[in-house]
Chains A and B, each alone.
Chain A
Amino acid sequence: AQSVTQLGSHVSVSEGALVLLRCNYSSSVPPYLFWYVQYPNQGLQLLLKYTSAATLVKGINGFEAEFKKSETSFHLTKPSAHMSDAAEYFCAVSRSGSARQLTFGSGTQLTVLP
């Protein structure tokens, strides 16, 4: 079975500061990993995905994440936060070869302070 743990349900950063959202996964098989963003009253939008190719994955809006097997982590980063980054972020895992049965983390609400 696969699972993800997102550390910190709420993260606040100042505009221009580094964004770091943490995700650790558990999987009995090589995983696929995803980060989604959800803006208020909207559905989830894919930021980036790891599907066993390059371990450093670049996504939209300047976000990137690094797959670290030894640490079972897939943390999301952005060098400089923008006000428009304020949203809820979800990490998700699925069995490799299949992005169908996603298991989502509990989400991290990102607040960007002016």
Chain B
Amino acid sequence: DAGVIQSPRHEVTEMGQEVTLRCKPISGHDYLFWYRQTMMRGLELLIYFNNNVPIDDSGMPEDRFSAKMPNASFSTLKIQPSEPRDSAVYFCASQTDNEQFFGPGTRLTVL
């Protein structure tokens, strides 16, 4: 198995632009998580899905952030419009049993 796949690995954009981060979970995993990692705030859970349904989005910072999971093999995290304070590494993880498997992350820089 290729593990959790995220794209792009790096994204540089200008303030005000729309950003879409993508994630392909491990096949057969029924939970999917989006995290954000920054120096100031550490690792934060943004939202998670179970069987493609959003369960808890209380960690989503603002309405500018949205996440979807149209099917079991794909999820997106969208920021519109982006702001410099959104600069961070965004991780996707999928879960089976009691273990979450993390993707390599997308490093987002908003200028």
Contacts and interface: CB of A to CB of B under 8 A. Distances in A.
Interface in B63-102: 91, 93, 95, 97-102
B56 interface: yes
Contacts, number: 46
Residue with the greatest number of chain B CB neighbours at <10 A, chosen from A41, A44, A46, A90: A44
B102 A102 contact: no
A99 B101 CA distance: 12
A104 B98 contact: no
Interface of B: 4, 31, 33, 42-43, 45, 48, 56, 91, 93, 95, 97-105
Nearest to B42: A106
A107 B42 contact: yes
Interface residues of A, number: 20
Nearest to A97: B98
A15 B100 CA distance: 30
B32 to A, nearest CB: 11
Listed from nearest, the 6 A-B pairs whose CB atoms lie closest are A43-B102, A99-B98, A104-B43, A44-B102, A106-B42, A43-B104
B48 A45 contact: no
Contacts of B43: 44, 90, 104, 107
A43 B4 contact: yes
Which secondary structure characterizes the binding site on chain B? strand
Contact of A49 (B4, B99, B105): B99
B42 A100 contact: no
Given A42-B105, A46-B101, 5 more contacts: A32-B98, A44-B91, A49-B98, A51-B98, A90-B43
A100 B47 CA distance: 11
A45 B93 CA distance: 11
Contacts of B105: 41-43
B42 A46 contact: no
B100 A102 contact: yes
B28 to A, nearest CB: 16
A28 interface: no
